[in-house]
Chain A
């Protein structure tokens, strides 16, 4: 086998810095949406939805979080690898939460039916 030589890109050739520039208007729209959602979640907490209070709160929080990650953190314009990283984080959190809860949710169950 041979090792051939490779010339890295010289400075005269083009850079491609992160090429996508997000328009200011989009940032402002996202910001406004986040503010509205904050107001919404505060309002929703004042209404008694029983078991659904937590569901509503987490859905709104996740929606806000998704906007922050996609647009402010540029995930929308990033590589697939970055997206896999974010999904991995969520998946591992899910493992930690759900498997821990297999213990706590079932402790009260009796062994014999």
Chain B
């Protein structure tokens, strides 16, 4: 409707300083969040490129597009990039960095320079890993199982391992910053019981980042040492135990999946309450469930090793514990649903993605219970069932939550509204594309189709073709937001401070906020999600 290009006159964090140096040397958490946004978006597309190659190869039963060696590299690099360089930093480093200081009423995170350092470390790790990939690739799977990775693989294992090692420190520093900030920088009156659930979730994820990441760091270091010096610690021919690698690797990598999902759950909590105009049902339970997920997530790792050769007694222990870890996630899903009950639901794009998350995460999570059962796992381990499970929670869950959060806070971040109609269309494409891609994989896997194979028996072709078709739709669903978010930066409607009429300190700043966030430190006198006392006003919707 508005034809003239609108500009923001007021000074804010985007226009307070110009020039590349003012961005590369910034300590403003909001600018650092934007630096991360650019980096991880780039990594997402690189990881997506590898996914596209995989799906193209799998259109036909024969291994005809690429050789098996190349295919091994494709799925390895897809996994490494998506896990370490996209999913783990996505919500914390982009949305968390931007929003958490605002949510707690602070002028910045506790350690702004450490925050900038964490971005540089991320970039260094990403460039190292990408260099290893471009100069020959790595074919061990993102799981780096020994002794293949330490002894027999002929690819750039050390380069990739070092890249991940370096980026791990970025994650550690972000987590450290969040924990200290949430403990020490809350505004007066902002008690733990009034803290937004997004902060609780990121706090729990930060605990995992800080406690778990160092272990994978030392493990990858040992892999590099073993590969370079043949020290034998994971090599059975030299007296080592390859399962020790797996124990140490999964000690981090299982909790890592909770690093990925918890911040996403935090986003969903914020969105569900806002678009239901109702405070979160069972706030304390949702908050404590985040902590419970973080703690319990650390005691279940060997469910990835049920058929690897661990003792069956140990497997029984881990299987039982794995059932327990599902409980707090279920609590959250129940509470979100109960929040929506008798709420005044609005169907803007963030809420559409939230609906998608709740449904798809539930499916993914339930199939996780299947996998926790020893007998079932023997049947479906290393099949497409597992692949479908984790894509349901990670893509159907986490990436949807990330998209939800980007849309929800975009007005705050950019000062612009995104075009709602296009956004709704993209959300629909993502939902349809996602399910078409991954639901067939559950079926395939249960029928016995193994994962990480570039060729397969002809009876699986129909399901594979369906999956690839879905992936194409999904890709379009992801390209559209890229385009319209960029478009909105110049042509989008100017956003008011609180377009969604949400409750929270971040919505009390202008859109976009000034560099110092608050002119004076706010004092919080209201309970969390106090939607009852909010007047019912129209929300702003972009065109």
Contact = CB atoms under 8 A, between A and B. Distances in A.
A–B interface present (Cβ within 8 A): yes
Interface of A: 1-8, 81, 88, 92, 95-96, 99-100, 102-104, 106-107, 109, 111
Given A88-B211, A96-B215, A96-B251, A102 B522 contact: no
Interface of B: 183, 187-188, 211, 215, 243, 247, 251, 298-299, 301-302, 310-314, 317-318, 508, 520-523, 525-526, 530, 533
Q: Which 9 A-B pairs rank lowest in CB-CB distance, beginning with the nearest?
A: A103-B314, A106-B311, A106-B313, A5-B520, A102-B314, A107-B311, A1-B526, A3-B522, A103-B310
A42 B274 CA distance: 64
B302 A99 contact: yes
Residue of B243, B313, B318 with highest tally of chain A CB at under 10 A = B313
Contact of B508 (A3, A96, A106): A3
Given A3-B508, A95-B299, A102 B523 contact: no
A93 to B, nearest CB: 10
Contact of A102 (B188, B211, B311, B520): B311
Contacts of B523: 3-6
A1 B311 contact: no
A92 B298 contact: yes
A106 B522 contact: no
20 contacts: A1-B525, A1-B533, A3-B508, A4-B522, A4-B523, A5-B521, A5-B522, A6-B188, A6-B521, A6-B523, A96-B215, A99-B301, A99-B302, A99-B317, A99-B318, A102-B313, A102-B314, A102-B317, A106-B313, A107-B311
Contacts of A96: 215, 251
A2 B508 CA distance: 10
B183 to A, nearest CB: 6
A109 B515 CA distance: 63
Contact of A103 (B302, B522, B526): B302
A5 B187 CA distance: 11
Residue of A5, A88, A96 with highest tally of chain B CB at under 10 A = A96
Contacts of A88: 211
A111 to B, nearest CB: 6
Nearest to A5: B520
Contacts of B520: 5-7
Nearest to B246: A103
Contact of A99 (B299, B312, B508, B533): B299
Nearest to A98: B299
A7 B187 CA distance: 12
A36 B313 CA distance: 43
A8 B314 CA distance: 55
Nearest to A92: B211
Nearest to B243: A103
Contacts of B310: 103, 107
A96 B508 CA distance: 44
Contacts of B298: 92, 95
Given A3-B522, A103-B302, 10 more contacts: A4-B522, A6-B187, A6-B188, A95-B298, A96-B215, A99-B317, A99-B318, A102-B313, A102-B317, A103-B314
B247 A103 contact: yes
Contacts of B508: 3
Given A1-B530, A2-B525, A8-B521, A103 B188 contact: no
B498 to A, nearest CB: 12
Contacts of B317: 99, 102
A92 B533 CA distance: 43
A57 to B, nearest CB: 23
A1 B523 CA distance: 11
Contacts of A2: 525
Contacts of A4: 522-523, 525
B518 to A, nearest CB: 9
A96 B244 CA distance: 12
B194 to A, nearest CB: 12
A82 B525 CA distance: 28
Contacts of B312: 111
Residue of A1, A3, A5, A104 with highest tally of chain B CB at under 10 A = A3
Contacts of B530: 1
Contacts of B525: 1-2, 4
Contacts of B247: 100, 103
Nearest to A103: B314
Contacts of A1: 525-526, 530, 533
Contacts of A107: 310-311
A99 B299 CA distance: 7
A2 B522 CA distance: 9
Contacts of B526: 1
Contacts of B533: 1
Contacts of A106: 311, 313-314
A8 B106 CA distance: 12
Contacts of B311: 102-104, 106-107, 109
A55 B439 CA distance: 54
Nearest to A93: B211
A83 to B, nearest CB: 13
Contacts of B251: 96, 100
A6 B522 contact: yes
A8 B215 CA distance: 40
Contacts of B313: 102, 106, 109
A7 B521 CA distance: 7
Nearest to B312: A111
Nearest to B508: A3
Nearest to A81: B183
Residue of A2, A4, A7 with highest tally of chain B CB at under 10 A = A4
Nearest to A85: B179
B375 to A, nearest CB: 15
B174 to A, nearest CB: 18
Contacts of A5: 520-523
A81 B183 CA distance: 9
Contacts of A95: 298-299
Contacts of A103: 243, 247, 302, 310-311, 314
